[in-house]
Amino acid sequence: MGLNTRSTALFDEICQIPCLNSHSHIAPEADRLAEAPDALAFFKHAYAASDLVSAGMSSDEMETALTPGLPLAQRWKIFEPYFRWTRLTGYSQCILEGFRDILGFPEFTAETVEPISEALREHSKPGFYHEVLKRRSNIALSVVNMEDLIEVDRELFLPLPRLNRFSMLHSAAQVQAIERDYNVSVATLDQHVEVIRQVCQDWKAATVAGVKMSQSYHRRMDFKQRRKEDAAKVFDRLMRGNYAGLESEEGVLLEDYLVFECCRAASDADLTIQFHQGIRAGNYGSMEGCSPAPLAELFQTFREARFDLSHSGYPYLREGAVLGKTFSNVYLNMSWIHIISPIGSRLDLKEWLRMVPYNKIIAFGDDLRHVEAVYGHLKIARQNFAIVLAEMIEEDLISESIALDIAQAAFHDNPAKIYGVNV
């Protein structure tokens, strides 16, 4: 089912709901203005680029086609044979929706690539982030991922710093970098954990959305509680340079211990804990960390914490839904998945709404870099909700007022509560 009269009307209503964007990688406006991308450079983003690689584009072709330098017409000839196969994917569609609605170009062709690039240059002026994100997209705030806490435009963004550097230890040099960056001394595991606790308290005072961890890019999420004395021995070996590394058996033990301590520190600081949970970006990646099911022990241990499953374990969305249904501290975040699989997202949303209390669902997180593509992604997400809710109205499962209550909760109220935002 696509947009019909009822779903179109719902879509228009949903667009009036200010959106809290739960997961973003939008670059600072000053960086974007300095970068000045043309239309083809948008497809160098990791997601659209991964589809092009999947369709057969070589790294040399990608570098030539998507990097400004050669004339656009010459680059288009390299790009078009692969774009032909990828134009329908969500990764491409979010870019094309932005070109269509914001710049006024319904087609992306050899004839329009130059005018679209010129239009991008013309509209990319100081203040255009506010125009695209606030006025055109009706985004109240975007939760932006960052390695360490840095300042952002608080009218547009809310920081989400990572605890990766504290929990994924490779060497003593990494600990020494933490000492320099945070003006602390770390010689023992206890001291390292105390730094984590203090950092979480400081980030809470600085008003962040929560903390992020991305272990699923390198391992299964099967964290186990470990004895402190065993973890301390491994930490001591790391500090002496006698450490087998993060991927070793002792590295897993230490990481398990530190993930539990990071969750303890974040929970004690009343910070939401967001895990990257699901598909990995790029090509040729393993799927071993996709399933959220092994996280159950962590959720059982920290029952007062708030766990945000960003991407909800895609493609294991049903496993994520079981966790959301049975754990009061687990929330299902639809960030990214509307463009991973627009249709699959609708199927899963409809199942979730019959399975999980809908105060557990976060509707949107762009997970992108360019604000025009963010607009396009949000349009797809709103359409997905409108289609699903219209179907449920037609099946006499809900009324229109309940449909709008669901959308209000998922796009705004739920993430506002989870991240402690008052907008």
Q: What is the pLDDT of residues 239-278, one digit of tens each?
A: 999 999 999 999 999 999 999 999 999 999 999 999 999 9
Determine which of 1-10, 221-230, 246-255 has the lowest per-residue pLDDT on average.
Answer: 1-10
- Exposure of 227 by Cβ count < 10 A (0-12 exposed, 13-18 middle, 19+ buried)? exposed
Residue 412, pLDDT > 80, answer yes
85-103 pLDDT, tens digit per residue, is 999 999 999 999 999 999 9
Enter the CATH code of domain 129-419.
Answer: 3.20.20.140
How many C-alpha atoms does 30 have within 13 Å on its Cβ side? 2
Mean pLDDT of 1-17: 91
- Exposure of 204 by Cβ count < 10 A (0-12 exposed, 13-18 middle, 19+ buried)? middle
- φ, ψ for residue 381, nearest 5 deg: -65, -45
Rounded mean pLDDT of the chain?
96
Instruction: Tell me how many helices (H) and strands (E) the chain has.
Output: 20, 8
Residue 1, pLDDT > 80, answer no
Residue 422, pLDDT > 90, answer no
Q: Which of helix, strand or coil describes residue 307?
A: strand
Spans of all domains in the chain:
37-123, 129-419
